Amino acid sequence: MASPTSQPSGSTLPSSQPPNVPESVQPDTPSSTTPSEATNNTQKLLVEVTKDGIVYGDNANAWKKRVSYYFRASIPISYASWSGVDVSFKDKLWEALMKEFYFSVPDYKARPYVEKGFAQKLRTRKVKYRPLLKATLEESIAACPTEEMDPLHWRGFCINKHTEKQKEIKKKNAASRKRWKTTHCLGRRSYAQNKQNPGKKARRVDAWKRGRNVLMGVFLKVLVRHTNKEVVASGVVDAENGGICHGREVDDGEVKVYVEKVFDGSTPIYDGPQNSCTTLEDIADGGYLIWLKARLRFER
């Protein structure tokens, strides 16, 4: 949906800009920035595109560079968003590109998919200039990079970024960033820090981490329990189920556990004897056993 903020306009585009943007702010049309003689003498290049708007093939880089050129030279950053760019101007931009390139399908079919990436190109270009903005509108306008863009386009960009709505968004984002402790999205604490707080109440992020451990097939710490649910040993279990242990297959509902520490050596081994061991005392020095998964408690 088009943003209600400023749109540049001029004689080449319909006049529909809000009152806070100068009337004289207007984009250069692609035809005015393209050397027409060179274009006419250049053979068109074939480009291919997927349904996701991804251009590929031998001429994909040439296409991307040309589109980037038009966004730098022709499209003012004073537009609030790509959706706010006037349709007639989009048509002129597309016509200029079609003078140099063609698709393996009719261009009217390719256009909706290719233009999916145009919005991001405009956002990326605007992000480049945001660090130049100052605390006040007047200071921001004075900081115009005159060697790179028209001061009128820069003024429209500054006006957009100093509206009350944008100030509120900026303030909210700044407050949110102050609370960041890490650069990932798994909480404020690192994996190592979370591991050092086993008594902390498990959160959704902790459940996510445990789920990733299972999927990636790493070793998980477990507590081995007897039939009365009493913890009798501890060890690690391979997340990869199945396989062979002590000459027999590990059935469904069973896992292969490497016992590291025994708490009650008199506990009978599940489905024993296993490898001539009948109680946990026989494997007190460590070793593999088959155990029911329902009798294991995974440590957090």
**Paired residues of 245 in beta bridges:** 248
Final residue of a structural domain among 150, 173, 196: 173
What pLDDT score was predicted for residue 70? 82
- pLDDT range class, residue 300, cuts 50, 70, 90: low
Q: Are residues 275 and 168 part of one domain?
A: no
Residues 37 and 159 in one domain: yes
Assign 209 a pLDDT band (cuts: 50, 70, 90).
low
Task: Examine the domain organization and report whether 47 and 146 are in the same domain.
Answer: yes
Report the domain count for the chain. 2
Q: Same structural domain for residues 229 and 144?
A: no
Query: What number is the average pLDDT over the span 60-83?
Result: 82
Residue spans of alpha helices (H) in the chain:
30-33, 36-40, 60-73, 87-98, 107-114, 118-129, 137-142, 151-161, 164-178, 191-195, 204-216
The more confidently predicted of residues 183 and 107 is: 107
For residues 140 and 64, state if they share a domain: yes
User: How far apart, in whole angstroms, are the C-alpha atoms of residue 140 and residue 165?
Assistant: 17
Average pLDDT estimate for 155-176: 86
154 and 226 together in one domain: no
Nearest to 157 by CA among 81, 74, 76, 78: 78
With respect to residue 21, please indicate whether it lies within any of the assigned structural domains: no
Residue 22, domain member (yes or no): no
Task: Tokens 């999205």: give the residue.
Answer: 185
188 lies in some domain: no
Is there a domain that residue 10 lies in? Answer: no
53 with 118, same domain: the answer is yes
At residue 196 the predicted structure's pLDDT band, cuts being 50, 70 and 90, is low
The residue from 117, 140, 173 where one domain ends is 173
Q: Do 259 and 126 share a domain, yes or no? A: no
Most confident of 69-78, 157-166, 212-221: 157-166
pLDDT at 30 over 70: no
pLDDT bin (cut points 50, 70, 90) of residue 204 is: low
> Is 169 found in the same domain as 37?
yes
Domain end point (choices 173, 207, 226): 173
Q: Does residue 225 share a domain with residue 169?
A: no
Residue 62 in this model has a pLDDT that exceeds 80: yes
Q: What is the mean pLDDT of residues 237-241?
A: 62
The pLDDT of residue 182 is: 58
In a domain? residue 86: yes
Q: Tell me: do 166 and 257 sit in the same domain.
A: no
Provide the pLDDT for residue 20. 43
**For residue 219, what pLDDT is reported?**
56
196 belongs to a structural domain: no
Sign of the dihedral through C-alpha 260, 265, 270, 276: positive
The pLDDT score that the predictor gives to residue 37 is 38
| 122 and 75 Cβ atoms separated by less than 8 Å | yes
pLDDT-derived band at 60, boundaries 50, 70, 90: confident
Per-residue pLDDT at 195: 56
pLDDT classification of 197: cutoffs 50, 70, 90: low
SS3 117: helix
Is the pLDDT at 218 greater than 80? The verdict is no
In a domain, 192, yes or no: no
Please check whether residue 138 lies inside any domain of the structure. Answer: yes
Q: Which domain holds residue 65?
A: 30-173
Query: With bands split at pLDDT 50, 70 and 90, how would you rate the model's confidence at 1?
Result: very low
Whether 240 and 131 map to the same domain: the answer is no
CA 264 to chain centre: 49
The pTM assigned to this predicted structure is 0.43
